[in-house]
C-alpha cells in the first residue's frame, strides 16, 4: 500500500499528462523511461545512453514545437527524487539537454528546472507555504547555484540570472512579466495559483499548473488511461528504489524499422514489443504506423534521392 506522500506524487505525475500537446507528453514519458534508481546512494538519475536513443527515435515520430514550454519534461526526475540536493545538478543537466535538442535556451531551461525542483519539493513538504516564502526559496537557490557554463555563455548566463533575481522582487510585489521564457512562465503559473487566477497561454504552463495544483488539492483524481496509471506506479517504484534498474547497454537505430514488414511484430530496444500497423508512401516520405503498449507512433522517414 502506498504512503500518503507517494499517492500525492503519483497524482502529481498523472496530472502532468492532462494536456493536449503530444510533444510534452512524449517528453514526460521519455524521461520516465530513462530513470535509474540508485538505492546505495539514495537518488534517481538519468540513463544517458537510453536518453540519447530515445531522442534519436523522437526525431522521426515527434514534432518540434519550440513555442511550447517543455519544462515539465523534468517532472518525473523531480518527483522520483527524495533529495533536492542530489537532484539539483541532474534536473539542470536533463533540461539543458532537452533544450539543446530543441535548439532553444539551454541554460534558461536548465535554471528553470532547478527552480522548479525547489518549488515542487517545498510544496510537497508544506502545502501551506506562502507565495512570498516560495519566491524567497527560489531567490536563495538562484544566488547559490553555480552551474558549469560554456565560456562563451558565461556573461550571458550571469546577466540572465541577475534579471531573474530582479523579476523575483517584482513578482513578490505582485508585478508580472508576460515575456515568454521558461523561468518567467513558471513564475506566472505560481502567480496564477496564489494571487490571481488566469488562463494558461500554452499546454506547457497548463501541465506545470496541473502538477502543482494536484499537490495542493486533496480531492481524489480520475484517470482513464491505463498506460499513464502504470507509469505512475512505475515512478513510485523507482522513487522507493524497488527496481534496481539496469543500465541500457544498447545502441538502437530507428532506421531499422524501415526493414520491417506490415503486420510484423518485433522487440524494439526503445519501444519494447511493437507491431507494424501500416507502411505507406506520401511523395518522398515513408510513413510507418507502429502500435505498442504505450500507444501508437507515426514514424516519418525521408526517401533518399
Q: Is the pLDDT of residue 221 over 80?
A: no
Across the range 249-277, mean pLDDT stands at 94
| 171: confidence class by pLDDT, cuts 50, 70, 90 | very high
What distance in Å separates the CA atoms of residue 93 and residue 111, rounded to the nearest whole number? 10
Residue entry with cell 520491417: 260
Residue pair 104/141 in contact by the 8 Å Cβ criterion: no
Instruction: Work out the average pLDDT over 112-133.
Output: 96
- State the pLDDT at residue 219: 67
Orientation of helix 106-125 relative to helix 84-102, angle to 10°: 150
pLDDT value of position 64: 92
Which pLDDT band holds residue 1 (cuts at 50, 70, 90)?
confident
Mean pLDDT value across residues 106-133: 96
**How far is residue 168's CA from residue 146's CA, in Å, rounded to a whole number?**
18
Q: Are 45 and 38 in contact (CB under 8 A)?
A: yes
162: left (phi over 0), alpha (psi -120 to 50) or beta: alpha
Average pLDDT over residues 82-88: 87
pLDDT over 90 (residue 49): yes
225, pLDDT greater than 90: no
Average pLDDT over residues 171-181: 93
- 12 versus 154: the higher-pLDDT residue is 12
Work out the percent of the chain whose per-residue pLDDT is above 70: 98
pLDDT at 305: 58
- Pick from 67, 59, 58, 66: nearest CA to 28: 58
Residue 200's pLDDT is: 78
- pLDDT computed for residue 119 by the predictor: 97
pTM score of the predicted model: 0.95
Amino acid at each position: 500500500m502506498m504512503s500518503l506522500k507517494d499517492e500525492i506524487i503519483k497524482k502529481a505525475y498523472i496530472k502532468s499528462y492532462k494536456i493536449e500537446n503530444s510533444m510534452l507528453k512524449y517528453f514526460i514519458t521519455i524521461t520516465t523511461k530513462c530513470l535509474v534508481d540508485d538505492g546505495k546512494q539514495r537518488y534517481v538519475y538519468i540513463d544517458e545512453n537510453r536518453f540519447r536513443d530515445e531522442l534519436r527515435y523522437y526525431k522521426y515520430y515527434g514534432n518540434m514545437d519550440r513555442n511550447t514550454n517543455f519544462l515539465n519534461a523534468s517532472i518525473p526526475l523531480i518527483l522520483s527524487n527524495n533529495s533536492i540536493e542530489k537532484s539539483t545538478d541532474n534536473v539542470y543537466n536533463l533540461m539543458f539537454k532537452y533544450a539543446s535538442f530543441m535548439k532553444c535556451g539551454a541554460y534558461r531551461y536548465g535554471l528553470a528546472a532547478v527552480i522548479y525542483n525547489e518549488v515542487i519539493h517545498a510544496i510537497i513538504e508544506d502545502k501551506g507555504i506562502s507565495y512570498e516564502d516560495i519566491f524567497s526559496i527560489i531567490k536563495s537557490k538562484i544566488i547559490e547555484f553555480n552551474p558549469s557554463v560554456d565560456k562563451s555563455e558565461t556573461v550571458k548566463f550571469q546577466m540572465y540570472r541577475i534579471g531573474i533575481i530582479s523579476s523575483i522582487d517584482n513578482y513578490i510585489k505582485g508585478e508580472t512579466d508576460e515575456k515568454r521564457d521558461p523561468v518567467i512562465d513558471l513564475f506566472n503559473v505560481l502567480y496564477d495559483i496564489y494571487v490571481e487566477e488566469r488562463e494558461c497561454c500554452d499546454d506547457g504552463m497548463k501541465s506545470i499548473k496541473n502538477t502543482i495544483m494536484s499537490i495542493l488539492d486533496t480531492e481524489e483524481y480520475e484517470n482513464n488511461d491505463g498506460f499513464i496509471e502504470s507509469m505512475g506506479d512505475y515512478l513510485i517504484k523507482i522513487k522507493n528504489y524497488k527496481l534496481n534498474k539496469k543500465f541500457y547497454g544498447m545502441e538502437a537505430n530507428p532506421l531499422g524499422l524501415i526493414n520491417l514488414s506490415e503486420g510484423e511484430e518485433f522487440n524494439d530496444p526503445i519501444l519494447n514489443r511493437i507491431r507494424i500497423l501500416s507502411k505507406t508512401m506520401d511523395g518522398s516520405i515513408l510513413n510507418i504506423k507502429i502500435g505498442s503498449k504505450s500507444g501508437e507512433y507515426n514514424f516519418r522517414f525521408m526517401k533518399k534521392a
